Structures are given as structure tokens and as C-alpha cells.
Amino acid sequence: MKRRILVIAGGLMVLVLLMGVAYRANAEGILEKIEKTGTVTMGLREGAVPFGFIDEKGQWVGFGVDLGEEIHKALEAKFNKPIQLVKKPMDPKTRIPLITSGAIDIGIGSTTITLAREDVVDFSLPYFLTGTRLLVPKGSPIKDFPDLAGKRVGMGSGSTANINGIDQAMAAGLIAPPCEKVLFDEHNKGFLALQQNKIHAYFTDASMLAGMKAKAEKPGDWEIVGRYLTYEPYGILLPENQGEWRDFVNAALVRTIKSGRYQQIYDKWFGPKGQVPLAMSGEFTMLLKALSYPE
């Protein structure tokens, strides 16, 4: 018995140590590391239309990919030499561990800036603004959040900002009796469940819903309904305590916005002819104006 306990204790220690290695922090500045190694490792979404996804030709494209390319160009301009861009897939489950472990230097997906996340990672300036709404089949009796009373509502299990939002709405009595939360580890599984009537509505960021709708076999069969339940400002994921790197990313972001390049990229993906037509809200436009810092 005693030996058994020793073996187990030893095993657990090895486990913790291994995980500790995975969580090793980057001691050196990331900018110096990029200059020294000539590579930058970027986390991007693989299945989130249009933020980052694999297109019909098998290319890894999207709004976040284009934005990342701008930052990559700014890096090459700064160091005056070619920098290799290494792309790594990330999803709502893996994005925070990937940053904290140092596996990626920067993560551009569709990550809402939250105070809880600020405890473990850093964010760039908010570069995208959306809000949470509902995706329902066309003609559904669900028109807004109060109609969710007693219904089954799908959402992403890694989307903590969304879950907190709907929990608060239920606590405040906006949805009474409360709806049943059905959690999916990927949005596309949730959409499949919605198509199969397993859930009555899918709840997440409007930008994401627009992507799901655009990717559907018949986009006309679906509608996005409801008020903005919460505002979701997106930020670029960065490691903690990397001030210089964060300043650099922010400056690149501000210059991309000021030069009009940001608008071009937005229109490419969200414009009327884009993959996911989504008109920029007034608040969003205002956010971009506020971000146009002088040189």
C-alpha cells in the first residue's frame, strides 16, 4: 500500500512538472526573439468564417489572416529583412493556453476582450465590435431573447463571454422561465444540431452567426434575430507583460485603420460582395474613428 502511494505521488509530480514545462513563460522580449529567429508564430482560426477558415481551394484565408499579414508586413518593415510567418490553428478552447505557453506569439481570431481573460493574457486595442444575437430557422416563433423562455438554446462551451451574457439575462428575468443551455465544443456542431431541430436557436456573436448563415446550404432558410444582448469587442491575443510587442501590434493596427487598409479588408470579407455580408454598425464605425490615433 505504501509503495503504491509513493508510485502515485511520483507519477503526479511528473505530470505537474511536464505541464509546468508547457506553461513556461517567455523570459525574453518577443520582438527581440522575432528579430533573432526571423520568424513570428501566429495563431489563427481554422473554422470560423470569415475570421479564419480553409476555403474551397484549400487556402487558409480570412479577415484575421489578412490582418495578420498587415502585422507581418509591419514587422518586415521594422527589421528591414524578410520574416517568416508561421501559422498555427487555434480555437476557443486552445487559444488562451497557446498564448500562455508561448506556443504562439500572437493570436488573431474572434476573441472578446474580457476582464477575466486580462488576468492571464494581454489584448491589443479592440479592433472589431459585434454583439450577441440569435440564429433561428426562417419563420421561427423566436424573434428576440424573451421568446427563448423554456427553449433549448445552443452555444459554444468555450465562449465564456456569451454564456455569462445569457446567464445574466436569465438572472435578470429577461428570459423566464429560463432556457436550457446546450453546449457545443464547435460552432459548426451547434449549427448542425440546429438544422436537425435538436435546439431551437443558436446563440453567439452576430459576426459568427452571419458566417454560419453564409456557409449554410440555403442561407435564405435562416435568420439572425434579437437585440444585441451583449457587446463583444474583439482584441488580438498577446502574452502578458510584453509591453513593447503590444505597442508594436497596436501601432500596426492603428496605421492599418488610418491608411484605409482596414476598411478594404473589412469590405473584402463583410462587404455586400464578401463571404459574409455584415454592415458595419454605427458603434463600430465610431470605434474605428476613436482608434485613428495621430502619429
Partner 1 sequence: MLNYDFDWSVLWRAPYGAMFARGVLTTVHLSLLAWLLALVLGACVGAIRMQPWPPLRRLGGAYVSLFRNTPFLVQLFFWYFAAPLLLSESGQLWLYDNVPDYAYWAGVLGLGIYTASRVAEQFRSAFFSIPRDQYRAAFASGLTSIQAYRLVLIPYAFRLALPTITTEFLTCFKNSALAMTIGVMETTHTASHVEAFTSHGLETTTAASLVYLSLAWTVIAAMGAVERRLRIRGLLARRR
Q: Which of 48, 165, 30 is nearest to 109 (CA)?
A: 48
Query: For residue 68, what is its C-alpha cell?
Result: 495578420
Binding of partner 1 at residue 16 (CB under 8 A)? yes
Task: Pick the binder of partner 1 from 68, 158, 178, 226 (CB under 8 A).
Answer: 158
Distances (CA, A) of 75 to 32, 50, 229, 263: 11, 24, 38, 21
Task: Pick the binder of partner 1 from 185, 221, 244, 247 (CB under 8 A).
Answer: 185
Stretch that binds partner 1, among 8-16, 74-82, 137-145, 251-259 (CB under 8 A): 8-16
Ranges of H-type helices in 126-242 = 160-171, 187-195, 206-215
Stretch that binds partner 1, among 17-25, 33-41, 68-76, 273-281 (CB under 8 A): 17-25
Task: Indicate the residue among 80 and 196 with the shorter CB distance to partner 1.
Answer: 196
Binding of partner 1 at residue 295 (CB under 8 A)? no
Query: For residue 60, what is its C-alpha cell?
Result: 487558409
Cβ atoms within 10 Å of 261's Cβ, excluding its own:
15
Q: Which of 155, 8, 19, 41 is nearest to 92 (CA)?
A: 155
Binding of partner 1 at residue 192 (CB under 8 A)? yes
Task: Pick the binder of partner 1 from 6, 7, 9, 12 (CB under 8 A).
Answer: 12
224 - beta bridge partners?
135
Binding of partner 1 at residue 187 (CB under 8 A)? no
Side-chain half-sphere exposure of 186, counting CA atoms within 13 A: 10
Task: Pick the binder of partner 1 from 7, 13, 24, 244 (CB under 8 A).
Answer: 24
> What is the rounded CA–CA span in Å between residue 108 and residue 84?
17
CB of 158 vs partner 1, minimal distance in Å: 5
User: Applying CB under 8 A, which residues contact partner 1?
Assistant: 8, 12, 15-16, 19-20, 23-25, 27, 92-93, 96-97, 100, 116-117, 119-120, 152, 157-158, 160, 182-185, 189, 192-193, 196-198, 240
